[in-house]
A and B are shown apart, each in its own frame.
Chain A
Amino acid sequence: MNLTYFLFFLFVLSGSLSITYWAAQREKTAQQYYVVSGRLTGVQNGFAIAGDFISAASFLGITGAIALYGFDSFLYSIGFLVSFVILTLVIAVPVRNLGTYTLSDVIAARFPIKRVRLIVSVNTIVISILYMIPQLVAAGLIIHLLLGIPYQFAVLIIGVLMIVYVVFGGMMAASWVQIVKTALLLFGTFLIALIIMARFHWDIRSLVEQVERTSPLHIHFFQPGLLFDNPLEALSLSITLILGTAGLPHILVRFFTVRNALAVRKSLITASFVIGWFYLLILILGFGAVVFVDPENIIVKDPSGNLVAPLLAFKLGGDFLMAFISAVAFSTILAVVTGLIVTTVTTLSHDLYNHISKQGEATEKEQLVVAKVASVFVGILAILLSLHLKMINVTFLVSLTFAVAASTNFPILLLTIYWKGFHSNGVMVGIFTGLAATVILVLIGPNIMNMESGWIRHPPLFPLANPGIVTIPCGFIAAFITSIVSKRSQKEDAIFYRIQVKAHTGLNQED
């Protein structure tokens, strides 16, 4: 086991454990545990959002994908970035104004029915766990590669760490680990980008020319079509990404950690600048990887391309830089998974336990206990799933998660906030349809039904790997039709007007 690598990992570990300890000292109430009592500043939360959002799939996955497939991979970066425009304009502030701790709170503000809370809560858990698995798989692979520990042990260690952070540190630890990780990530990628540009004497043209020369694809590297042979795929992916972020529960609950709508906006602007800057940097890293880490070499050793970034660091700065980048990747994963577990556990404790099972009568102490116990179980579940899914393609799972979020949460959020005619039945049917449509189309799509490498050896029945372009309208239409045929009363209209006021102004009316 290489000492440098081990030391860096130890550094990340001790840093994050210190943050957790510090957070644990300060968190005594459920409100603090769930949402830091709304005391993060706009900029801090912006960094945390960026931290929550930029997962291993972005950092490792996209860098590798750009090195191997050029232009099409950049579409992921762009989709992820522009999704913040939709989130900001349409969803963010209303969500913050309507809810307190979870996404279910937001929908239940208009439809205070147990069934509604239940299904939104379950959907939150499903999406969060789907997002968690690729992170743990990536972490296991990195640790296995660098420290020589068997994959299973690596996943186990990380899973246990995660549980510790969440049980003791809650949302505060999650937030600060994310903030620190974002700073480290920006610094690390900036450093490598600088080294690359310096090697090319700051001449972008020369870098681009060298990429064209070195890549086995030459000019085609810069053209669309390498990842998505069917241009409809690119369209479907683009739509899914731009709408998906607005449906990701772990991002949405971050808006509850700040004081007011102004802070939410500051967070969003900060996050979009950080994220945008980051994606520009990893474009340079992707190009650099083509030049310094031979792409043909990559495909032989690691066809998924997930390890391109550390390999690039090694070529540019030896063991030290590779250890640093790997530690940064590791902290990225820790941060995202911690945030996901906190989100999952908050909804389990606040929605399922407190509201549904205990009619809102559970004491603070009971809720905290349930949250912490739930963390253990959720952690164990995530570990078990990751152990079994070692071979899964990380980017595939993340795309799937975005597709589910865009087809379930986005339609119902939009309709809840803006459409008078929306009915609680629409929430149920909408989520169920969006989820079912996505899962079914993925199961019969080219990711699973693949003659060469799929789980089912059969030509795909559905042509697109990313079903968003079909499933998102399905979610909308299902919610819409159900609402039209459901009986509504004047009382519900009155509730909607009240919700409108609250969502757009933050003002609560007392009669």
Chain B
Amino acid sequence: MGEDGTIENSAIFKQFLKSKYRFILKMTLFFSLAYLLLPLCIIFAPGWMNTTIFGSLTIAWFIAFLQFPLTWIAGIIYFKKAKYYDQLIRQMKRRGNLS
């Protein structure tokens, strides 16, 4: 616990928060960029995007379909990491006098 007994000043919490922020930032940046690939490529590389790869379906469609597993994987990664954070929270709860 922090010297003044509050959670916000305790070492565990500060570390927890730093770790969590870093995780959220990395994940958000990665998956947002993966998603924005689609409209950005439409603007900057329209020719390439229209290259067909499966019948009439193009690279654009491939990137579009990719968003589905990406979304699901993002959810699963977050879910698993959150379980770990839940453990830390339980620790903090035990050491402090709070609800």
Contacts and interface: CB of A to CB of B under 8 A. Distances in A.
A84 B64 contact: no
A443 interface: no
Q: Nearest 8 pairs between A and B by C-beta?
A: A497-B8, A235-B39, A231-B43, A208-B55, A238-B39, A234-B39, A505-B89, A85-B74
Nearest to B40: A235
B interface, over-half SS: helix
Contacts of B79: 265-266, 269
Interface of A: 71, 74-75, 78, 81-82, 84-86, 88-90, 93, 204-205, 208-209, 211-212, 219, 221-225, 231-232, 234-235, 237-239, 242, 261-262, 265-266, 268-269, 272-273, 276, 279-280, 497-498, 500-501, 504-510
Contacts of A81: 67-68, 71
Interface residues of B, number: 49
Contacts of A85: 27-28, 31-32, 35, 70-71, 74-75
Nearest to A505: B89
A218 to B, nearest CB: 9
A222 B60 CA distance: 9
Contacts of A261: 82, 86
Contacts of A225: 46
Interface string B36-69: 1011101100100110001111101100100110
A269 B80 CA distance: 11
B31 A82 contact: yes
B38 A78 contact: yes
A204 to B, nearest CB: 8
Nearest to A78: B67
B22 to A, nearest CB: 12
Counting chain B CB atoms within 10 Å of each CB, which of A232, A237, A504 scores highest? A504
B69 to A, nearest CB: 9
A209 B89 contact: no
Contacts of B61: 71, 74, 222
Nearest to B26: A89
A237 B35 CA distance: 12
A78 B97 contact: no
Contacts of B11: none
A212 B8 CA distance: 60
Counting chain A CB atoms within 10 Å of each CB, which of B31, B46, B55, B57 scores highest? B55
B78 A273 contact: no
Nearest to B93: A507
Interface string B80-98: 0010001001001100111
Nearest to B9: A497
Contact of A509 (B6, B27, B49): B6
Contacts of B49: 224
Contact of A238 (B8, B35, B60, B72): B35
Contacts of B70: 82, 85
A85 B32 CA distance: 9
Contacts of B71: 81-82, 84-85, 272, 276
Given A507-B99, A509-B96, 8 more contacts: A85-B27, A86-B32, A222-B60, A265-B79, A276-B68, A498-B8, A508-B98, A509-B7
Given A272-B72, A510-B97, A238 B55 contact: no
A262 B71 CA distance: 19
B68 to A, nearest CB: 5
A506 B32 CA distance: 27
